[in-house]
Amino acid sequence: MNINLLEERKNSVMCNARDDARHIECGKNSAAGSVSQRACVYCGARVVLNPITDAYHIVHGPIGCSAYTWDIRGSLSSGSEVYRNSFSTDLREKDIIFGGEKKLAAAIDEIAETYSPKVIFVYSTCVVGIIGDDIDAVCKSAEERTGVRVIPVRSTGFAGNKASGYRAACDAIMDLIGDAERPEKPSGINFLGDFNLAGEMWIVKSYLTQIGITINTAITGDSSYESLKRAPGAELNIVQCAGSMHYLARLMEEKFGIPFISVSFCGVEDTSASLRTIAKLVGDSETIAKTEAFITEKAEEAERLIAPYRKRLSGKHAAIYVGGGFKAISLIKQFNDLGIKTVVVGTQTGREEEYETIKSLTDEGTIILDDSNPFELEAFIKEKKADILVGGVKERPLAYKLGVAFLDHNHERKHPLGGFVGALNFAEEADLSLLSPVWRHVKKDRGETDEKLCQLEC
Amino acid sequence: MKNFVNLNVNPCNMCMPMGAAGVFKGIEGTMVLMHGSQGCSTYIRRHIATHYNEPIDIASSSLNEKGTVYGGSENLKKALKNVIKLYGPKVIGVTTTCLAETIGEDIRRIIDEFFLEEKIVGVECVAVSSPGYGGSHYRGHYYTARKVLEHFAKTGGKSDKINVIVGCMSPGDIRHLKEILDLYELEYTLFPDISETLDGGYHREYDRLPEGGTPVAELKAMGKARATIEFGAMVSEADSPGEYLKAAFGVPLYRLPLPVGIEHTDQLMETLTILSGRDMPEKLEKERARFLDAMIDSHKYSAEGHLSVFGDPESVYAITALGLENGFKMCVAGSGPASEKLIPALKALETEYGTVFIKLEDTDFETIAGHVTETGTDLLVGSSDGAFMTEKYGIPLIRTGFPVHDRIGAQRKIMIGYFGSMQLLDEMTNTVLAEKHDHFRKHLFTEYGQAKEG
Ligand code: SF4
């Protein structure tokens, strides 16, 4: 590594070496001026709660916070579409001076009168934390006045980072679930940490149905006020996006005694393993047998369809920069499965144990990054000669300007990347970008010979 | 002008720092630094990135709890240092966001302290106070441009150049505008110039601070210009950069609407004739003739369209005029950002064309959508944020303005001048035609064919 890193960033950038026992520094506040790719606490909370389809989301703050987060995610609903609206108290100068509590109370009343809401979430944003609006009190009195559940989300933007927002959202979900009694005979499982992007929750649900297991409540993909209230009735919580939902799983274990396990439905390997574990924990021998048969059939089919891609893609090098650690881990495995070696991998909010896993899954020399920035991504993509970057919306133009292929792994995706079908889509998308004829012209422009040409033609 | 009193439901505008970022991206070698919480800069980057398909590096001072309680000067100084180290900019545009402004940060003082302490030379630093609650991205654009000029343009004098201050135009529009100015053989300084910085080409070596933008030396000389043209007819005097140059140095000011539609473009050409002493160049004469011919060709078709326009005040005003000129039935003209001048200007259009339509400013999409459906709108023109009306009500949308998240190429779309107006008009008319052609058999059958059988 001969890259001129910022002083504050030196311990958050590592080159994987087996004899290096240091841990990467993670979970810190972003370094000032480093151009972090992270969003804020409010954003973290909104991402988690937004998929609750019949909820009214009021952003108590200035207009920007609401404008930038209005319906930008691809969570799908089988029922209400209310969640796709963005309500904002649109605080102005005078509200900042005199306080926004009255406006918020009146806003809640307007919603309660105009629609017949079951639940309203009220998010606090940066300024609300400073001007001292007591949103808890406003929500409480609004509940008494309107008879509607009005739940405060303590997501003041500067108080921590995106991960703190996840926790604020989990607290709000616990608030919504309330003190419900656990039934004598719990049944079904809760699926935590899938947001039904491009219908991914539905895909997993259908797999589980086929092996005879029912989802009690999905949190929060395609969920509703009623379905969340039913959550305490499950016998097991399976947690996918650990970064956001590990905390909720722990809260539910403490309060309702629901045990939890971590799962992932990214890629053939993880999907198969997760189904197997779930079947063992909640199924009988028949379920287990069914599951094995199901996995064999699906995995074989996926293998048959993915194999041709492997032939075309193996030997390439990938860089990964995504939000959470679980996703990065699954992506490394998926790339491995395609014969693609990961040479750079980073996350915005990965946790220490996830970075340990990442270290064990990648080769020596792989660059590992926490809360990275465009400067580092550019430098390491070039140094490690990555052929493809997988990341979110902000990373895409950088990849293209560097002349590197790109795979969109963002919350806006319109095709599923989860489950067996997702693994195939993943391979297909990597192939589309990596082997696009456009790179021929780029290479020509750069004055490089194109060894890929023959690969394309055969 | 909203359905709800205390709520904005589905915003039709963004916040001030967004406008500020766009202006700084139009200055050569400039890096933007937002003093406030991390989220604001990330949102704004994301919005800009999907619209322009360009990398957008905007730094944040990433204020946290500590900084919020004890003041953010340490964060801001660290951020300045790191930005200089990573990007080596010529200029740093420092803007505030809600958080920094609410805790009362004096960014100018902090910046000056930093430059003294670190003995930094060769970097200019412009400070703009732009809290999100202070106004829309639209206001942020002009306000920031004015602050930039107040910072750089400190002296008057004499030069042959004219100033051209642009509003929220696409890089494609700006390139086209430059061609027009060149045809009149005018010497000019165009600001803010995002024509290259936000729509660059592919180059062998990636440049973190892309080429292009208005050079600082030119900004400094803008007080000397012999005239200013400012595309911003709806912005208040207090926020207008041209008004500053006029008040401070007596630079004559021509404030024009966006040159969309034949009348607005004529207005621009007349101004350019005054300033250059030249008649309209032959190329533009031909473009004008062709545009007028195109208007005649399509007037009957467009007259069947029921048009609603939304976005920022300038584009709403300009596109409404284009629509009316060609006989569209105007239904709703709605601006998300506030503007005191918009409604009177739209009223004047109503009088001129003997029609009435719904006029909104400081509005939201909930309100716009209500009127759109009530009025029987069958053609929408505006940003991709209005696409939900296509999804919900099946009304086609022509994407213009900012942001366009769900289509490619918004950064190179041209809608100004005779040429650009003609392109937009064709697109509008064709959409009306397509709707008619795709459905007329079915409509007529339902209307008459079925009745006969019965
Ligand atoms: S409204 Fe204020 S807090 Fe929200 S994104 Fe804009 S500047 Fe940031």
**Number of domains forming the structure of chain A:** 3
DSSP A250-279: HHHHHHH---EEE---BHHHHHHHHHHHHH
pLDDT value at residue A58: 97
Q: Is residue A15 part of a domain?
A: yes
Q: Is residue A96 part of a domain?
A: yes
pLDDT value at residue A1: 62
Same domain, B306 and B270: no
- Measure in Å the smallest separation between the Cα of B21 and chain A Cα atoms: 14
Would you state the structure tokens that stand for residue B63, as one six-digit string?
A: 């204020």
- Measure in Å the smallest separation between the Cα of B452 and chain A Cα atoms: 40
Same domain, B129 and B245: no
The alpha carbon of A104 and the centre of ligand 1 are apart by a number of angstroms equal to: 17
Q: Is residue B454 part of a domain?
A: no
Walk across the sheet containing A388-391 and list its strands. Answer: A13-15, A367-370, A341-347, A317-322, A388-391, A405-408
Does residue B6 surpass a pLDDT of 80? yes
- Name the residue with the closest Cα to ligand 1, atom 4: A65
Same domain, A207 and A271: yes
Residues of A in contact with B52 (CB under 8 A): 397
Considering CB atoms only, which of B39, B56, B202 is closest to A157?
Answer: B39
Percent pLDDT > 70 in chain A is 97
Q: Is residue A194 part of a domain?
A: yes
Q: At what angle do helices A267-282 and A419-434 cross, to 10 degrees?
A: 170
Given an 8 Å threshold on Cβ–Cβ distance, is A130 in contact with B61? no
- Name the residue with the closest Cα to ligand 1, atom 8: B40
pLDDT value at residue B454: 45
Given an 8 Å threshold on Cβ–Cβ distance, is A397 in contact with B56? yes
Q: State the average pLDDT over residues A163-180.
A: 92
Last residue of a domain, one of A157, A177, A197: A177
Residues of A in contact with B131 (CB under 8 A): 62, 93, 96
Q: Is residue A224 part of a domain?
A: yes
The closest of B379, B390, B311, B317 to B350, measured between CA atoms, is B317
Percent pLDDT > 70 in chain B is 99
Q: Is residue A87 part of a domain?
A: yes
Domain of A111: which CATH number? 3.40.50.1980
pLDDT value at residue A164: 86
Same domain, B255 and B172: yes
Ligand 1 nearest-atom number relative to CA B18: 6
Decide whether any atom of ligand 1 lies within 6 Å of the B40 Cβ: yes
Last residue of a domain, one of A177, A203, A231: A177
Last residue of a domain, one of B152, B184, B206: B152
With the most atoms of ligand 1 within 8 angstroms of its CB, the residue from A86, A126, A130, A156 to mutate is: A126
Omega of the bond leading into A220 within 30 degrees of 0 (cis):
yes
pLDDT value at residue B360: 98
Domain of B108: which CATH number? 3.40.50.1980
Q: Summarize pLDDT for A337-349 with one digit per residue, the tens.
A: 999 999 999 999 8
Same domain, B353 and B436: yes
Does residue A450 surpass a pLDDT of 70? no
Decide whether any atom of ligand 1 lies within 6 Å of the B43 Cβ: yes
Q: Is residue B99 part of a domain?
A: yes
User: A387: domain range?
Assistant: 3-25+314-414
Does residue B322 surpass a pLDDT of 70? yes
In terms of Cβ atoms closer than 10 Å to its own Cβ (0-12, 13-18, 19+), residue B183 is middle
Given an 8 Å threshold on Cβ–Cβ distance, is B37 in contact with A157? yes
Residue A44 or residue B24, greater confidence? B24
Q: Summarize pLDDT for B46-99 with one digit per residue, the tens.
A: 999 999 999 999 999 998 888 888 889 999 999 999 999 999 999 999 999 999
Q: State the average pLDDT over residues B192-207.
A: 95
DSSP B115-163: HHHHT--S-EEEEE---GGG-BHHHHHHHHHHHHHHHH-------S-EE
Q: Is residue B452 part of a domain?
A: no
Does residue A455 surpass a pLDDT of 50? no
Provide the mean pLDDT of chain A.
Answer: 92
Does residue A453 surpass a pLDDT of 50? no
Same domain, A61 and A155: yes
- Measure in Å the smallest separation between the Cα of B204 and chain A Cα atoms: 6
Decide whether any atom of ligand 1 lies within 6 Å of the A126 Cβ: yes
Same domain, A276 and A330: no
Last residue of a domain, one of A294, A325, A355: A294
Q: Is residue B6 part of a domain?
A: no
Same domain, B325 and B247: no
Q: What pLDDT band is residue A456 in, cutting at 50, 70 and 90?
A: very low
pLDDT value at residue B339: 96
Percent pLDDT > 90 in chain A is 81
**Number of domains forming the structure of chain B:** 3
Ligand 1 nearest-atom number relative to CA B131: 7
| Bridge partners (DSSP) listed for residue A442 | none
Given an 8 Å threshold on Cβ–Cβ distance, is B15 in contact with A62? yes
Q: What pLDDT band is residue A226 in, cutting at 50, 70 and 90?
A: very high
Q: Is residue B374 part of a domain?
A: yes
Would you state the structure tokens that stand for residue B159, as one six-digit string?
A: 């030069």
Ligand 1 nearest-atom number relative to CA B99: 3
Same domain, B143 and B169: no
Given an 8 Å threshold on Cβ–Cβ distance, is A40 in contact with B53? no
User: Do the beta carbons of residue A360 and residue A17 sit within 8 Å?
Assistant: no
Same domain, A48 and A173: yes
- Measure in Å the smallest separation between the Cα of B322 and chain A Cα atoms: 28
Q: How far apart are CA B85 and CA A232, in angstroms?
A: 52
Same domain, A114 and A231: no
Q: Summarize pLDDT for A277-331 with one digit per residue, the tens.
A: 999 999 999 999 999 999 999 999 999 999 999 999 999 999 999 988 989 999 9
Given an 8 Å threshold on Cβ–Cβ distance, is A158 in contact with B33? no
Decide whether any atom of ligand 1 lies within 6 Å of the B98 Cβ: yes
Q: Summarize pLDDT for B365-422 with one digit per residue, the tens.
A: 999 999 999 999 999 999 999 999 999 999 999 999 999 999 999 999 999 999 999 9
Q: How many Cβ pairs closer than 8 A exist between chain A and B? A: 231
Q: Is residue A457 part of a domain?
A: no
Same domain, A321 and A275: no
* 3-state secondary structure (DSSP) of residue A69: coil
User: Do the beta carbons of residue A433 and residue A279 sit within 8 Å?
Assistant: no
Same domain, A389 and A332: yes
Residues of B in contact with A129 (CB under 8 A): 68
Q: Is residue B361 part of a domain?
A: yes
Does residue A244 surpass a pLDDT of 90? no
Q: Is residue A308 part of a domain?
A: no
Considering CB atoms only, which of A58, A62, A393 is closest to B46?
Answer: A393
Given an 8 Å threshold on Cβ–Cβ distance, is B208 in contact with A374? yes
pLDDT value at residue B334: 98
Q: How far apart are CA A164 and CA A168, in angstroms?
A: 6
User: B97: domain range?
Assistant: 16-152
Same domain, A272 and A319: no
Residue B222 carries which DSSP code?
G
Q: State the average pLDDT over residues B308-315.
A: 98
Last residue of a domain, one of B229, B244, B276: B276
Q: Is residue A362 part of a domain?
A: yes
Q: Is residue B206 part of a domain?
A: yes
Same domain, A205 and A242: yes
Q: Is residue B56 part of a domain?
A: yes
Same domain, B235 and B146: no
Given an 8 Å threshold on Cβ–Cβ distance, is A31 in contact with B82? yes
Walk across the sheet containing A87-88 and list its strands. Answer: A149-153, A119-124, A55-60, A87-88, B8-9
Q: Summarize pLDDT for B428-439 with one digit per residue, the tens.
A: 999 999 998 988
Residue A413 or residue B127, greater confidence? B127
Last residue of a domain, one of B152, B181, B210: B152
Does residue A452 surpass a pLDDT of 90? no
Q: Summarize pLDDT for A268-285 with one digit per residue, the tens.
A: 999 999 999 999 999 999
With the most atoms of ligand 1 within 8 angstroms of its CB, the residue from B14, B15, B62 to mutate is: B15
Backbone CA torsion sign across A164, A169, A175, A181: negative
